[in-house]
């Protein structure tokens, strides 16, 4: 057990601890533990009945988005599988979804996990009109492109706000 895990364990047994408290940047303990990759702390926090799993920071990033963005596969799995209330399609300020972040950065295992979610929207656009498929294709993530193309309803002839498509 790490010191951070021990400290969090001690704090969580206090009657007046607020597990959803936010700092000046809008970060909750779950957001911070996720960003720093503290798997054991994330597990402890997710076990709390009143934890807000979709709490967002000042950039509109949820714990799931941060886990995906940082490539924390285990933490992503914990959050998606441990809580049915996790919003898998939430977007950060720039409009990127968890699937778009994973597709762009080549996190194949995370893409596979996200695609198992019934409510995952594979054509979710960011503020520029880019979809996860466009991100995967533009970053030459071949296996992720294959995974996305295998999804029902994925748009392959999609153009963004600047008339960019994957073939141009």
Give the tens place of pLDDT for each residue, 116-132. Answer: 998 999 999 999 889 99
Rounded to two decimals, the pTM is 0.88
Please determine, for residue 89, whether its predicted confidence score (pLDDT) is greater than 90. Answer: yes
The residue among 1 and 114 whose pLDDT is bigger is 114
* Of the residues 87, 115, 138, the one at which a domain ends: 87
Whole-angstrom distance, CA of residue 147 vs CA of residue 99: 12
What is the reported pLDDT for 21? Answer: 94
How confident is the model over 22-62, as pLDDT tens digits? 999 999 999 999 999 999 999 999 999 899 999 999 999 99
Q: Are residues 80 and 102 in the same domain?
A: no
Rounded mean pLDDT, 160-168? 68
In angstroms, the Cα distances linking 143 to 32, 43, 111, 125, 163 are: 31, 30, 10, 20, 25
Whether residue 52 contacts residue 44, with contact meaning beta carbons closer than 8 Å, is answered with: no
Q: Cα-flanking dihedrals φ and ψ of residue 91, to 5°?
A: -125, 150
Total domains present in the chain: 2
The reply to whether 78 and 105 lie within a common domain is no
Domain boundary among 35, 63, 87: 87
97 phi and psi, to 5 degrees? Answer: -90, 170
Domain housing 77 = 1-87
Whether 132 contacts 97, CB under 8 Å: yes
In this structure, the answer to whether residues 1 and 67 fall within a common structural domain is: yes
Q: Are residues 34 and 100 in the same domain?
A: no
The answer on pLDDT for 115 being more than 60 is yes
What rounded mean pLDDT belongs to the chain? 89
């Amino acid at each position: 057990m790490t010191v951070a895990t021990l400290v969090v364990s001690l704090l969580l047994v206090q009657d007046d601890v607020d597990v959803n408290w936010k700092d000046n940047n809008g970060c909750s303990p779950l957001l911070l533990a996720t960003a720093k990759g503290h798997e054991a702390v994330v597990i402890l926090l997710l076990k709390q009945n009143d934890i807000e799993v979709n709490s967002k920071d000042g950039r509109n990033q949820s714990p799931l988005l941060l886990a995906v963005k940082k490539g924390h596969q285990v933490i992503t799995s914990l959050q998606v599988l441990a809580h049915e209330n996790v919003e898998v399609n939430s977007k950060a300020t720039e409009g990127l979804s968890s699937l778009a972040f994973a597709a762009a950065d080549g996190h194949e295992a995370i893409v596979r996990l996200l695609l198992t979610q019934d409510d995952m929207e594979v054509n979710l656009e960011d503020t520029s009109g880019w979809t996860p498929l466009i991100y995967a294709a533009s970053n030459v993530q071949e296996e992720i492109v294959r995974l996305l193309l295998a999804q029902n309803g994925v748009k392959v002839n999609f153009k963004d706000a600047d008339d960019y498509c994957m073939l141009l």
